[in-house]
Amino acid sequence: MVSADYLLAFTVSCILLAATVGLLRRRKAASRLPFHPGPKSRFLVGNLFDIPTETPWITYMEWGKQYGDVVYAQMLGKHIIILNSVKAATELLEKRATIYSDRPTMPIVSLTGWDFNFTFMSHTDEWREVDAVAAYRPIQLRKIQDLLRGLLSTPEDFVAHTKTLGAAIILDIIYGYDVKSLHDRIVYLAEAVARLCDCILPGASAVNTFPFLRYFPSWFLGCGFHKFARKIFELVDEMKNAPFDFCQTKLGAHHLFIRRYADPEQRNGSGKPSVLRELLEQNDAHGGSEEQAQITKDVTGVAYAAGADTTSATLIVFILAMGLNPEVAKKAQDELDTVVGLGCLPGFEHRSALPYCEAVFREVFRWRPLLPLGVPHEASENDVYEGYFIPKGTTVIPNIWAMGHDECKYPNPDEFNPERFLNADGQLNTDDHILAFGFGRRVCVGRHAANATVWATMVSVLSTFDIAKTSDATGEEVEIEPVYIDGLLSYPKPFKCSITPRNDVTRKLIESMTDV
């Protein structure tokens, strides 16, 4: 049996070898052109100990103020650049998309079973096969009405209601699966996304920094990621297969899923129309290719995972913003009452006539972006930008937070202020780029569906409910103290607020909604 001392010596040797090779590569590259400015690198390890593991977007933004819009760092020879401005992100990720559409290789992704997710794939033919999922507006509006009824009956469960909404819309569109309960198992499976986000950013997982660690046992120093990865792998596998099997069952196949998960009233019938049903029937019509069926399963699984969690998290940010800024909610409600009318729910046809509500929508995404650092890109070729060298294989991080908190463009950026998106006449300005959806060829393929769901939910909630701070037993107002999840995906931790019908008219409106 190999001794622990031998393994430790081997590990140290591997680290030194990787660092030395990286250093030689860096020197070779530096002989051509300099890298972008950045924090001073240490011998062998580079900036390994400078890369923050908590709220890195804040540190990177401060680096940007010191070194410029594009900041260079390196970890054990691995090149990293951080883009702190829209200009730099547009120039590289959009105008040079052929070079910057790859993703960095991250061992933790395959260990957790997420390697089917085209979000983390290189820019291959398989990735280009993916098409955006069309938004089904009637389903969106019906599920939003479910949310309103839920908020009326148990407003204290607003987090669960928003999570259910985000999942329910996509499950219905993609799989024809109708969520009926706050405790639906498939809704819970979207948690696999949030768990993965804890270990994607540079420095967050040892195996991404030292890929050889994936071959070491879980009990070895620094290899605790194996246990974490196994748990996520099981969630991901269930999340991808359970709704897929449900849809196949509705088409006549027989799967164990029905006995485990399906609601009794969903076990019979030929199945509702859905994206997956259409894709499966198309595949059958062309001979029933197993490879195409697997791609279909992967794509629909990604659509569910990516949309469910991000949609609900954005709505929780919205509720937090309204609780902290009641004057903003009041202005939006006044606009809705004028354009739509009290006692009526707004529809998509009203959107263009609601500029202040649209400004609230934009400000939610700017104020607290769910992906403060986006999803990392990778340079597939050597490149030069503004006289600085960017080597092939460089990890490129768009700092969405810094872009949305640029004090020159957005004065007092920590303030929630929808007026920054309005002209003097109260109409919308041209600042309509939702940075959170990404850049270039890796822009979020579900952005149109997400855009529609989030907007329609915001205006529906504002039309019918008041969101405010709670009061304690003595009647004193309790302040909301925002605390956020820290990771690739950042959103508010649970908080308390008061959600009540605006008046008897809106209460009766919600009560009169039928469950269809």
pLDDT for 358-394, tens place per residue?
Answer: 999 999 999 999 989 988 899 999 999 999 999 999 9
Pairing state of beta strands 377-378 and 78-83?
A: unpaired
| pLDDT band per the 50, 70, 90 thresholds, residue 488 | confident
Between CA 308 and CA 163 the distance in angstroms is 7
Which of these, 113, 168, 175, lies nearest to 141 by C-alpha position? 168
| pLDDT band per the 50, 70, 90 thresholds, residue 201 | low
Say if pTM beats, i.e. exceeds, 0.75.
yes
Query: Do 392 and 77 contact (CB within 8 A), yes or no?
Result: no
Pairing state of beta strands 465-468 and 498-501?
A: antiparallel
Give the helix/strand (H/E) hosting 13: helix 4-30
28: pLDDT strictly greater than 70? no
Higher pLDDT: 446 or 343? It is 343
pLDDT at 253: 44
Query: Do 189 and 481 contact (CB within 8 A), yes or no?
Result: no
3-class state of residue 257 by DSSP: helix
| pLDDT band per the 50, 70, 90 thresholds, residue 465 | very high
Between CA 505 and CA 194 the distance in angstroms is 38
Higher pLDDT: 328 or 224? It is 328
Pairing state of beta strands 70-75 and 465-468?
A: unpaired
248: pLDDT strictly greater than 80? no
If 0-12 CB within 10 Å is exposed, 13-18 middle and 19+ buried, where does residue 300 land? buried
| pLDDT band per the 50, 70, 90 thresholds, residue 228 | confident
203: pLDDT strictly greater than 90? no
444 is in an annotated binding site: yes
325: pLDDT strictly greater than 90? yes
Between CA 26 and CA 270 the distance in angstroms is 61
3-class state of residue 359 by DSSP: helix
Query: Do 373 and 397 contact (CB within 8 A), yes or no?
Result: yes
CA distance from start to end of the chain: 65
Higher pLDDT: 318 or 224? It is 318
Any idea which of 11-25, 242-256, 312-326, 499-513 has the lowest mean pLDDT? 11-25
Q: Write the DSSP symbol of residue 40.
A: P
pLDDT at 445: 73
pLDDT at 32: 75
pLDDT at 304: 74
327: pLDDT strictly greater than 90? yes
187: pLDDT strictly greater than 90? no
pLDDT at 7: 40
Between CA 32 and CA 42 the distance in angstroms is 21
Q: How far is CA 247 from CA 6, 240, 270, in A?
A: 52, 12, 10
Higher pLDDT: 123 or 112? It is 112
pLDDT at 29: 47
290-300: average pLDDT: 74
| pLDDT band per the 50, 70, 90 thresholds, residue 234 | confident
pLDDT at 9: 35
Higher pLDDT: 331 or 266? It is 331
Higher pLDDT: 502 or 274? It is 502
Higher pLDDT: 358 or 229? It is 358
pLDDT at 372: 94
55-84: average pLDDT: 94
Mean pLDDT of the chain: 81
429: pLDDT strictly greater than 90? yes
339-353: average pLDDT: 94
* Residue at token pair 């939610």: 364
Between CA 80 and CA 22 the distance in angstroms is 12
264: pLDDT strictly greater than 70? no
